[in-house]
Structure 1
Amino acid sequence: MTASPSPDAEILQASRFFSNWLSADASRKPLLQQVSELSLRPEGFAQFLQKEICAGVSLNKAMRRLRNLVICSLIKRDLCGQADMDEVVTTISQFADFVVQQHLQAIDADMQAMHGIPIGEESDTEQALIVLGMGKLGGFELNVSSDIDLIFCYAEDGETRVQDATQRSLSNHEYFSRLGKKLIAAISEVTEDGFSFRVDMALRPNGASGPLVASFNMIEEYFLIQGREWERYAWVKARAMTGQPGDIAALEKIIRPFVYRRYLDYGAIDSLRSMHAQIRAEVVRQETKHPERSNNVKLGRGGIREVEFLAQVFQLIRGGRDVSLRDRSTRKTLQTLADKGILDAAIVERLLNSYTFLRNLEHRLQYLDDAQTHTFPVREEDQQRIACMMGCTSVAALLDQLRPHREFIAEQFDAIFRDKANNNSETEQGMLAISLSGPDSDELIAAHLAGLGFSGSDATSITQRLMATWQSPKVQALSEASRNKLVALVNNALNIIARQSSNQLLAWNRLLDFMETIARRAAYLALLTEYPHALARVIRMMAASDWAAKFLSRHPILLDELLDESSLHQRPDWAAFRLDLQHHLDQHQGDTERQMETLREMHHALQFRLLAQDLEGQLSVEHLADELSQLADIIVAAVLQSAWETIASRHRREPRFAVIAYGKQGGKELGYASDLDVIFLYDDEDQEAPANYAKLAQRFITWMTSHTPAGILFDIDIALRPDGASGLLVSSVASFARYQEKSAWLWEHQALTRARFCAGDAAIGAQFEQIREQVLRQQRDDDKLRSEVINMRKKMRDANINRSELFDLKQDAGGMIDIEFIVQYLVLKYASQYPELTANKGNIALLIRCGELGLIDAGLANQTATAYRLFRKLQHSIRLQGEDRARVEPERVSKEAQATKALWDSLLT
């Protein structure tokens, strides 16, 4: 009685290619058993190849035998559960690299023997053919029966240098063209042993009509003049399989700006959507002609290509700014998107599971006959074989497993790639477009606005402003595609604003100002079109704050921050932000310009997130000031370290140098547009220290205040340094201590009440705090102290006369500066008796504590603290509307101002 085959044997028999190969030669079975015990690696490929060649087998024949052995080994390991999808795609990708490298090495040696060594005409150095692996090969995710997409290039034109009269010199271009043709033939020609890989060269510049090989200059010129959007997608995967490291690095510098934009490129969604539509149209056409071949797991709806598009659209959008998104692997890119919170981690996990299922199915379709196919076979017997290899009892069971994977992928694909411009009816957008271009534009638009529910006066104002914007030279100069995008945006915006209950006209005017600013940046128009919820958020923010509207107009790159509602509402994780900032700066080590841009972009992004939370009422003024001050501390520390690394003469790795913050930053009361009052201290006896630290301070100021395309970080005020404008830029700790003890004016001691270590050497920070406490705790003559505080306050009031009938929250009697002077006076008067008053806790906390200690009337202390809190809140609200001076009707704060005046009078009159 014949024994029934084992489950493994049965499943292996489902692959006709495997069965036919194994049965064709009895020696293959033990060899396969030996090879398939362990996963294959390049060193194993080399050993087998060397053994065959030593036995007298030609390279081409040996390589084809090795190829069949590798494929069958992978089939056996995969179907018997010894290898996962990662091993399969990695092994076949490594084998493709091995094939190209071995053949190229052999052919190049023969070519050099005939024609000499190719030499660059500029560098006078040896040139080598760079073979770029594209597509799945570039990402080390090749199919077992895939062709390989290649591009050939070389660094420099020139000619070969011959050694003797038997050799005939060729131009480098001719040399590498011949080399490329021979390489293709060696890899892809079908012999009695089959082939190594099918080769596809269609992705090279100009495709089949272009030259087979291209110099770097040719590639760069092509990218600049003719490079198309779909080619950006293709070149994301480009990976050099051969070539010299220096040349590969130079080529990557050419490729990078073509593929990745410095800004967030949401126009990529439109490009990939169009590309996908063309692919789908061709698939539908083929399915219509051959309905029996309608199940394409690669190009069909919910197929492998849609997962790849999901990953790569974010690479094209964000890869210019985020190096971590430049990985060529689809799987690694998806995981990075989850790690960064760009895509939900649970969704990415399901996408990866579905992708793995589809890739496994794709391999089994190819295991059947070693054919490059992605479509379910027609014959029922073959379908059953596929189901068997997938571990399913029937074809129906397999299709039941396949269906939810494809539905989920399609759902996620649609969420990203659905044309959001059509959220409102096409008819409505069409009417608006006609109205803008028609002879009776004003009447047509007014009727359109009335239909949306706008009042008569608002409709008139909105119409006038819209027509003025639409007819402006800037908008008329836009391409038709951009104007259509703008129409869609305007239509969406009008629908959103119509649903608002207040500030409709204000929001509209600010939004149009913003749209005029970004009109020529198609990427920003695309973002707001693709993400209507981001447009709605923009409109809410602009309705709430003129300052926010202007900030966003100056930094439209921040639109990206509005896409993820959950992260927008999260409180900052400062430790994580500090590490992330340093990581980005390290990526651009040595590139000062890019580091300065990075600092500004990341600072503005965090500031914008806090602004969004502020406008939604999630932050109190005090909490916001704490967060903005913490952000400034981190930026100051990062700038300090980065600036130090640019000083060639620096005498030590870490500077013994500190930044001391005064004023609003010192008191942790920073606002959005506050400048930084700082001084610089060092404690270093090295003879080079003074000069190097002076350079560091100057460079620090430059890094902070220089205008770049991303704006500035902070204005810096250094007037509070010892001896003011006539003093040295940096001071030693010892000289600062002497100055504070013997030479400083009283107002400088007042300023010390709101000073603190901000960044740099913590030991110097501790020394500063000790000096500060010693100075503040000095015993003082009360009459002299009171007189100097009163005189200083008078000078300030005389310099800031309020000629309006409004109450100036900051400068007027009973306002914020009076309260700050009261606190400073109390600290300087009583700190010798009550050391706790030197703590930098803020004006409100110190006022209340002085009341508790009985130094002032407790009731007045609480009333004044409440007044200060209200004044700050009102000032903040007014500043958000873009006003330079914070002034209100006197009646609004009369009670609070009276309380402040009463406390002032009790202490300082």
Structure 2
Amino acid sequence: MPLPRAMRRLRNLLVAAIIERDLSGHASLDEVLSVISAFADFAVQTHVAALMEEMAASYGVPIGRESGKPQELIVLGMGKLGGGELNVSSDIDLIFLYPEDGDTRCEQPEQRELSNHEFFIRLGRKLIAALSEITEDGFTFRVDMALRPNGASGPLAASFGMLEEYLIVQGREWERYAWVKARAITGKPEDIAAMDAIVRPFVYRRYLDFGAIQALRDMHAQIRAEVKRQEARHPERNQNVKLGRGGIREIEFLAQVFQLIRGGRDAELRDRSTRATLSILPGKNLMEPEAVEELLEAYAFLRNLEHRLQYRDDAQTHTLPANEEDRLVIAQMMGMEDTQALLAALDAQRRIVAGQFDAMFSEREAPPEEKESAESAALETLADADNHEAVEERLRSLGYDDPAGSAQRLLLTWQSSRMQSLPPDSRNRMVTLIRHALPLIAAITPARSVTLGRLLDFLEAIARRAAYPALLVEYPQTMERLLRMISASDWAAKYLTRHPILLDELLDDRTLRAAPDWEAFAAECRRQLDAADGDTEQQMNVLRDLHHAQLFRLLAQDLEGGLTVERLADHLSALADVLVEVTVKAAWRTVATRHREAPAFAVIAYGKLGGKELGYASDLDVIFLYDDEDADAAVNYAKLAQRFITWMTSMTPSGILFDIDIALRPNGASGLLVSSVAAFEKYQTGSAWVWEHQALTRARFCAGDAAIGQRFEAIRERVLRLPRERDALKHEVLAMRRKLHGAHPNRSDRFDLKHDDGGMIDIEFMVQFLVLSHAAQHAELTADIGNIALLKLCARLGLIDAALADDVADAYRRYRKMQHLIRLQGEDRARVAPDLVAREASRVRQLWMAIFGEPVVVAA
């Protein structure tokens, strides 16, 4: 039996079996969709293989001009076929591609050479005929080729080069929506991977693409307009379950808007199935679980109804029949008693879908009666330099503290080359944002002119990346949250300006204010790294983006007053610990000569990370240890350490992760990058300077092999508890403190919270001296519990005066808080008026004199 006839008869048997199982309640929606989709794949694959053999016999095998390799037809399933959710009576949307141009290689005299392009066009035509020609056995599938490049006017088959040029030069927004579903049914894996590399950048942007909302909104409006025209011509057909209000297409749009916005940064959102995509949205806090459950139920209801409409005449229809008798049949097929029950159920499901759709896609703009006059006035005012007085008067009426300066800044920004080079739509959008922001700033903060300046810096930075202004227009509440943050902190404003992708974090207050879950964060890091396996730059970007997002959430909670400085430092240190851990593991996988699955390697944290006092922009002071007798260990762990540093410090499109300082490794700059545990122990007990033991007082195991971490902690405790001659220790500590003091001269009339006599470094040196001089007798002093807790412990042990210890601990806490607030305003040096901290500095000096007997600065 010829293959086309056999395939048609198989199709008829399969469809009859599906209908019987479905209507008898034995088949789920998933079974119906997956079975017919699998059969479509089988039909295409079987016919392509047979036709390829037939064509090759006549024309030879197509050979790539550049690779010299045989070429195969890649058939892409689009739409519901691509998503594995095909209807029983659906057309199948196909695209035909082939990798390279070239010519066929003829090995027989009777064969006639063809170009690859002509070969695959002929093959495509034969495939369409084999599937869709109507014979006495019917057809296998109707075929729609309208989605190919250039549509009906384009060639039936396109090479990868043609496809790439088309997508770059002519690809339209609606085609991004279509190509989300593209799935290769035939072709070699390496060719499919090459095609994916061409298509992915077109479909999925590297940044969050909130412009997709307007694009899908426009597409939906066009579809609805066409449906309304058809309904006007045929009023009896006013129940289109696919394209009508609250129909299947709106559910598909709801799923795909998240894919187009975020799929470039989250590979999990690239699933071609509407149901699969909806199902993962709650886990990403993108939709409420209840809303997704309702949409999935509505999708199942509408698709089941669509199938029953198509079962009647094996036709691709989505509209309820006008005839009451036929409607009753459909109702009964849906398990309902009468037409009214069906219509009531249909209306209920469509209301749910329409409500969810409107929540996502409704226009976020000024009321129509206000929009034109307000926006026109704003445009006229901003665009004309002669209107400086009008802008100034507007700002004065809003209570701006420097209306003249702010008006000048606003006009200069608007007349900048960056703003003037924007397309008209983008300029109008920016005007809308500024107009919306001016009264909001006045309502939020008294520092209005400063905040406006920070906002204009931010808007200039994002002006050419249309997705970010689109986000602010689509979600007006985000502008208010943005303004609150940048008004509170210049550092936050600059951070957002460098990383505008963080605007996404402002969409949902719940996400922004949620307490960190470090186990879940680590799991997400690992998941996203695994998804980008093999692409080191993408993995680096993943880590940076995750770091920025989590740090930004902490920043938001900090600015809202939800975190103490100590608690914030704990969180920032925990965040760094996770990123160090996952980076070590990811970097190890890139060491081609690695000799074991998991490295016997540890990262030891010193300084602020070691003491869990990390700030927003702190470096990481670390050293690297290993414990491995393998002959290749030293070389491989040196490679690992180098790659770890590279992963941390390299500038990528997403910035850097952390600056790394490795100066505290044994022998400093002249020492090896990585030390064995034994070598580290020998160095610390026999060669280390006193200042290195001081640094050891706030060092800890950070990441890597836990057994090495335990050995390090044991060495650390043993070294800290070594007996020391008190006067010699005092001499060394004083000398180092004076050296530091000299290296940071303060020629201002303000008090330097960190470096001045009576400041934070004095407190840290006193704690370090007390630990080194008394840990031999008091093992509890070796605990890495922070300077404040150690001061109070020393007081309980009778080593220092309790009242002084409490006051100095309070001083340290206050210094840290003041330093933190100053840094949030973008100041590099934390200096204050001396009278603000006179008492604190005095008490610190008193404790210093009680411990050392002489001041930091010795009078000449």
Q: TM-score scaled to structure 1, two decimals?
A: 0.91
Counterpart pick for 2:810 among 850, 861, 866: 866
Q: 2:327 aligns to what SS in structure 1?
A: helix
Q: Report the residue type matching 1:401 in the other structure.
A: A
Encode CA deviations 1:463-488: one digit per residue, 9 max, x unaligned: 22211110001100111111111112
Residue 196 of structure 1 corresponds to: 140
How far apart, CA to CA, are the structure 2 residues paired with 1:641 and 1:839? Answer: 28
| Pair 1:94 & 2:51 matched | no
Verify: 1:363 aligned to 2:285, yes or no.
no
Whether contact under 8 Å (1:432, 1:448) holds in the other structure is no
* Residue of structure 1 in register with 2:482 after alignment: 538
SS of 2:103's equivalent in the other structure is strand
* RMSD (Å), alpha carbons: 1.7
Q: Please name the residue that 1:611 is paired with.
A: 555
C-alpha distance in structure 2 between counterparts of 1:463 and 1:389, whole Å: 68
| Corresponding residue of 1:441 | 387
Aligned to 1:335: 279
Find the counterpart in structure 2 of residue 31 from structure 1: none
Q: Is the 8 A contact 1:786 1:825 kept in 2?
A: yes
Deviation at 1:194, TM superposition (A): 2.0
**TM-aligned CA deviation for residue 528 of structure 1:** 1.3
Range 679-688 or range 466-475, more displaced: 679-688
Displacement of 1:437 in angstroms is: 2.7
CA distance 1:640–1:436, change in 2 (3 Å): same
Summarize the Cα distance change of 1:107–1:686 in structure 2 as closer, same or farther, 3 Å threshold.
Answer: closer
**Aligned equivalent of 1:897, options 824, 831, 841:** 841
**C-alpha deviation, 1:193, in angstroms:** 2.6
Residue of structure 1 equivalent to 2:430 = 486
User: What is the identity, as a one-letter code, of the residue corresponding to 1:395?
Assistant: T
Q: What secondary structure does 1:292 align onto?
A: coil
Kindly indicate whether residue 763 of structure 2 is the aligned counterpart of residue 819 of structure 1: yes
Deviation at 1:110, TM superposition (A): 2.3
* 8 Å CA contact 1:342, 1:564 repeated in 2: no
What secondary structure does 2:7 align onto? helix
Distance 1:448 1:384 in 2: 65
User: For residue 518 of structure 1, what is the aligned residue in structure 2?
Assistant: 462
| Corresponding residue of 1:28 | none
For residue 790 of structure 1, report the CA deviation from its aligned partner.
2.0
Report how far residue 829 of structure 1 moved.
1.4
2:626 to 682, 696, 719: 682
Offset of residue 533 of structure 1: 1.7
Aligned to 1:557: 501
Cα distance in 2, alignment partners of residues 479 and 449 from structure 1: 27
Q: Which residue of 2 aligns with 1:266?
A: 210
Distance 2:585 2:328 in 1: 65
Given candidates 753, 756, 778, the residue that maps to 2:697 is: 753
Percentage of identical aligned residues: 63
Structure 1 residue 116 displacement after superposition: 2.2
Secondary structure class of the residue paired with 1:678: strand
Quote the Cα distance in structure 1 between the aligned partners of 2:451 and 2:571: 28
Equivalent residue for 1:236, pick from 180, 184, 203: 180
Of 556-565 and 660-669, deviating more is 556-565
CA contact (8 A) 2:79 2:93 kept: yes
2:685 aligns with: 741
Return the offset for 1:527: 1.2
* CA pair 510-382 structure 1, distance change in 2 beyond 3 A: same
- Taking the aligned partners of 1:830 and 1:77, their CA distance within structure 2 comes to 82
Matched, 1:667 2:611: yes
Q: How far is the alpha carbon of 1:595 from its aligned partner?
A: 1.7
Name the structure 2 match of 1:83.
27
* One-letter amino acid matched to 2:840: E
Give the alignment of 1:578-593 within 5 angstroms: 578-593=522-537
Contact 2:83/2:181 (8 A) holds in 1: yes
Which of 263, 279, 295 is the equivalent residue of 2:239?
295
Structure 1 residue aligned with 2:637: 693
Q: Please give the per-residue CA displacement for 1:768-792, whole angstroms capped at 9, x wherever unaligned.
A: 1111111111122222222222222
Native 8 Å contact 2:505 2:512 kept in 1 = yes
Tell me the alpha carbon deviations over residues 115-165 of structure 1, each in whole angstroms, 9 at most, x when there is no partner. 222222222222221111100010011112111111111112222222322
In structure 2, C-alpha distance between the alignment counterparts of 1:203 and 1:341, rounded to whole Å = 33
Residue 515 of structure 2: SS of its match in structure 1?
Answer: coil
- Secondary structure class of the residue paired with 2:31: helix
Q: 1:534/1:368 Cα in 2 relative to 1: closer, same or farther (>3 Å)?
A: same
1:430 to 344, 355, 376: 376
Supply the distance in 2 between the matched residues of 1:538 and 1:423 (Cα, whole angstroms). 23
Q: 1:139, 1:233 → 2: CA distance?
A: 12
Asked if residue 704 in structure 1 is aligned to residue 645 in structure 2, the reply is no
**Counterpart amino acid of residue 570 in structure 1:** A
CA–CA distance in 2 between the matches of 1:101 and 1:739? 68
Q: Is the 2:804–2:843 Cα contact (8 Å) retained in structure 1?
A: yes
Q: Separation in 1 of the partners of 2:244 and 2:455?
A: 41
Deviation readout 1:7-62 (Å, 9 max, x if unpaired) = xxxxxxxxxxxxxxxxxxxxxxxxxxxxxxxxxxxxxxxxxxxxxx3xxxx33333
Q: Where does structure 1 lack aligned partners over 5 or more consecutive residues?
A: 1-52
Aligned to 1:13: none
Q: Which residue of 1 aligns with 2:255?
A: 311
- Assess if the C-alpha contact under 8 Å between 2:400 and 2:448 holds in 1: no
Map 1:466-481 onto structure 2 (within 5 A): 466-481=410-425
Give the alignment of 1:165-176 within 5 angstroms.
165-176=109-120
* Deviation of 1:654 (Å): 2.5
1:530, distance to aligned residue in structure 2 (A): 1.1
Which amino acid in the other structure matches residue 437 of structure 1? A
SS in structure 2 at match of 1:655: coil
SS at match of 1:608: helix
Whole-angstrom CA distance in 2 between matches of 1:672 and 1:560 = 20
Corresponding position: 1:726 with 2:726: no
Cα offset, 1:447, TM superposition: 4.8
Q: Please give the alpha-carbon distance, in whole angstroms, between the structure 2 residues aligned to 1:718 and 1:879.
A: 24
Within 2, Cα distance between the matches of 1:461 and 1:287? 58
What does 1:820-835 align with in structure 2 at a 5 Å threshold? 820-835=764-779
| SS, match of residue 754 in structure 1 | coil
| Equivalent position of 1:393 in the other structure | 337
Residue type at the aligned position of 1:603: H
Q: CA deviation at 1:612?
A: 1.1
1:631 to 546, 552, 575: 575
Q: How many residues align?
A: 851
| Structure 1 match to 2:362 | 418
Equivalent residue of 2:295, what SS?
helix
AA in 2 matched with 1:441: N
Contact 1:507/1:542 (<8 A) preserved:
yes
Aligned counterpart, 2:856: none
SS in 2 for 1:893: helix
Are 1:280 and 2:280 an aligned pair? no
Offset at residue 280 of structure 1 (A): 1.1
**Deviation at 1:205?**
0.3
Structure 2 CA distance, aligned partners of 1:787 and 1:59?
96
Which AA in structure 1 matches 2:586?
A: S
How far apart are residue 871 of structure 1 and its match? 0.8
| TM-score normalised by length of structure 2 | 0.96
Contact 1:115–1:160 under 8 Å retained in 2: yes
2:729 aligned to 776, 785, 790, which one? 785
Matched, 1:186 2:186: no
Paired position in structure 2 for 1:32? none
Q: 1:635-686 deviations in whole A, cap 9, x for unaligned?
A: 1122222222222333333222222111101100000000111122222233
